[in-house]
Amino acid sequence: MKSLNYLNKYLYKYKGRLLLGVLFICFSNYFGVEMPKVVKNAVNDFLGELNHTNDFQSILMLSLKLAGIYMLFSLLKGFFLFLTRQTIIIMSRLIEYDLKNEIYDQYQKLDYTFYKKNNTGDLMNRISEDVGQVRQYLGPGLMYTINLAILSIMAIYTMMKINVGLTLIALAPLPIMSILIYKVSSKMNALSKFVQQEQSMLSTIVQETFSGIRVIKAYLRELEMQSRFEESSNAFKDKTMKQVKINALFMPTIVFLIGLSTLLAIYYGGLLTYEKIITPGDIVAFIFYINMLTWPFASVGWVTSIIQRASASQERINEFLKITPEIQNVSTEKLEDIEQIEFKNVSYQYAENLPMVLKNISFKVKKGEKIGFIGRTGSGKSTLLHLVMRQIDPTIGEVVLNGKSLKTSNLELYRQMSGVVPQEVFLFSDTIKNNISFGKIDGEVTEKELIEVTTKAHVLHNIEAFPNKFETLLGERGVNLSGGQKQRISIARALIRKPKLLVLDDCLSAVDTETEDVILHGIAESTEDQITVIVSHRISSLRFVDRIYVIEDGEIKEQGSQAELLALRGIYADMYEKQLLEE
């Protein structure tokens, strides 16, 4: 349970609500405990009254008076119960909100390497499932525990005042109930873990079916998908059925044990009444108290398992919050401009047991220059760009910015000055305008700017053809755009921040050579104070660059201007001829 200590800072933050909640629990229970006393007096008064008179009027008055008091107490008890929930449950929701934000913040801080290692399902679980479990502890968990403590003290004290022996005998079955319910809850939790696993399996199948529906239909795999779903659905059903069976034992157990308590109270209470030690009203009050204590005692078992689950969840959360990103911004130094980027003998491997994907890469690029990297698929081009953007750090060697290691440069400002068009385009489910404005660092994006960048990216004419123009909503991952259109919107997004460093990762692969020509012209226009790095496996994309590096198997095999490379008659010249022939 140690892990839950982490939440104390939040409990402290909302201590006002918590203390108020405890106060309300006290009030609510006070009236709750008073109610059976009213009934007890009523029973005794009625018995007394019936022995003396048969006056209908006076009995009616008596009942009205008692009913009135009982009602009033019920209302007050209910009112304070309402306030309890308003304070403690709301507190738990506020903490849930804070905790979710804290976790989300951490997600944003963590680097690319972390995301490569963890799958989306697990990441989502942390913020939804685990936080949910923790909230159960903070809300119902705390509330019922406090309630149990206060009510037990008040009710048992009142019962003891009536008769100690009767109290002990009548309450004996309740702790057994607590233990049984704890056992049942634990079993349920163990099962619910399996149920959840099946559930997430089922969701994965459904999700994949939706996103892959075109492939499924094209390959006529509907029936197969259906049987996969059925299989998973069956597994889910089986696990749930087990849960239902155990759940079915829950209520009968409680009812049986309360029945037993009541029976004992009546039997032993009857004997005591016969001996005139207590009144018949006391027995009635006892039955009320037993009923009142049922839920709190039942909740002991339930709450214990809630707390166990919450602490397991919190432990996962704590572990996650402790992770420090490998890539961190350590500098607050001002970065005026991007003058020069240099790779000094950089090698990189994704993991220790994997081969080096980049070997001994060295090059230099200055402000105003455009360089290009060309190489076959898997040769390490994207990895190289990740290094340029410091999404990863070199395994060996150093990336140098303006003569200073990139590791000690102000990463935040560096990234603010750079515009990246990644190989895999990602567009948000939002308007075209917002998708492009996403690239702008601060300030409103004007219509003029939008038109300027979309003209350069050669996508304006496409956007204007949509009825809603820039306000056109893109579906999930922008499904209503063609691959080439997405790439060009992504380029516009990078251009709108007027980057000092523009990095293009094979982002013209889905456009034809004519469109490519227009875009490259657009980009080439305003590059005197910009560094441009273009990666491509197409010769034509690199026709405006000053220097070309040919990468093969993670090594720079050839470098120079296009003319120089052609004269070399090596890999580049070979590619050139082949691609020229293709065209």
Contact positions vs ligand ATP (CB under 6 A) = 116, 350, 354, 357, 375, 377-383, 423, 506, 537
Beta carbon of residue 385, minimum distance to ligand ATP (angstroms, whole number): 8
Nearer to Mg ion, 374 or 411 (CB): 374
Shortest separation between residue 531's beta carbon and ligand ATP, angstroms = 20
Alpha-carbon distances, residue 521 vs 457, 517, 579 (angstroms): 10, 6, 21
**Helices and strands in the chain: count of H runs, count of E runs:** 22, 10
Residue 420: CB minimum distance to ligand ATP, A: 14
With respect to ligand ATP, which residue has the nearer C-beta, 223 or 354? 354
What CA–CA distances, in Å, run from 454 to 168, 242, 315, 328, 346? Answer: 82, 59, 48, 33, 36
The minimum distance between CB 541 and ligand ATP, in angstroms, equals 12
CA atoms within 13 A on the CB side of 179: 5
Q: What string of DSSP letters covers 87-127?
A: IIIHHHHHHHHHHHHHHHHHHHHS-HHHHHHS-HHHHHHII
Amino acid at 269: G
User: By the 8 A CB rule, do 357 and 524 touch?
Assistant: no
> Between 513-525 and 447-456, two packed helices, what is the crossing angle to 10 degrees?
130
Output the residue with the shortest Cβ distance to ligand ATP.
Answer: 382
From Mg ion, ligand ATP, none, which one binds at residue 167 (CB under 5 to 8 Å depending on kind)?
Answer: none
Shortest CB 516 distance to Mg ion, Å: 17
Q: Which of residues 32-91 bind Mg ion (CB under 5 A)?
A: none
154 CA to centre of own chain: 41
- Which is closer to ligand ATP, CB of 147 or CB of 383? 383
The residues in 422-481 that bind Mg ion, with binding defined as CB under 5 A, are 423
| Residue closer to ligand ATP, measured from CB, 350 or 544 | 350
Closest approach, Cβ 343 to Mg ion, in A, equals 17
Name residue 220's amino acid.
Answer: L
Select from 186-194, 381-389, 398-406, 567-575 the region that touches Mg ion (CB under 5 A): 381-389
Q: Taking CB under 5 A as the criterion, which residues in 142-201 touch Mg ion? A: none
Straight-line distance from the first to the last Cα atom of the chain, in angstroms, rounded to the nearest whole number: 68
Distance CA 481, CA 489 (A): 10
Nearer to ligand ATP, 79 or 114 (CB): 114
Q: Which stretch binds Mg ion (CB under 5 A): 18-26, 240-248, 390-398, 415-423?
A: 415-423
Asked if 437 contacts 496 with a C-beta cutoff of 8 angstroms, the reply is: yes
Q: How many CB atoms lie within 10 A of CB 22?
A: 18
- From the list Mg ion, ligand ATP, none, which binds 377 (C-beta under 5 to 8 Å, kind-based)? ligand ATP
Contact of residue 378 among ligand ATP, Mg ion, none (CB under 5-8 Å per partner type): ligand ATP
Kindly report the number of other CB atoms within 10 A of residue 259's CB atom.
11
Taking the complex as a whole, how short is the minimal distance between the CB of residue 477 and Mg ion, in angstroms?
A: 19
Q: How many residues bind Mg ion (CB under 5 A)?
A: 2
509 binds Mg ion (CB under 5 A): no
Of the ranges 378-386, 444-452, 472-480, 484-492, which one interacts with Mg ion (CB under 5 A)?
Answer: 378-386
Nearer to ligand ATP, 24 or 348 (CB): 348
Nearer to Mg ion among residue 382 and residue 562 (C-beta)? 382
Question: Binder to Mg ion among 163, 261, 382, 462 (CB under 5 A)?
Answer: 382
Residue 344 half-sphere exposure toward CB, CA atoms < 13 A? 11
Calpha distance 487→471 (Å, rounded) = 18
**Closest approach of Cβ 352 to ligand ATP, in Å?**
11
| Angle, helix 513-525 to helix 483-495, in steps of 10 degrees | 0
Q: From the CB of 387, what's the least distance to Mg ion, in Å? A: 13
Determine if residue 378 is left, alpha or beta; phi over 0 gives left, psi from -120 to 50 gives alpha, anything else beta: left
Which residues of the shown chain bind Mg ion in the complex (CB under 5 A)? 382, 423
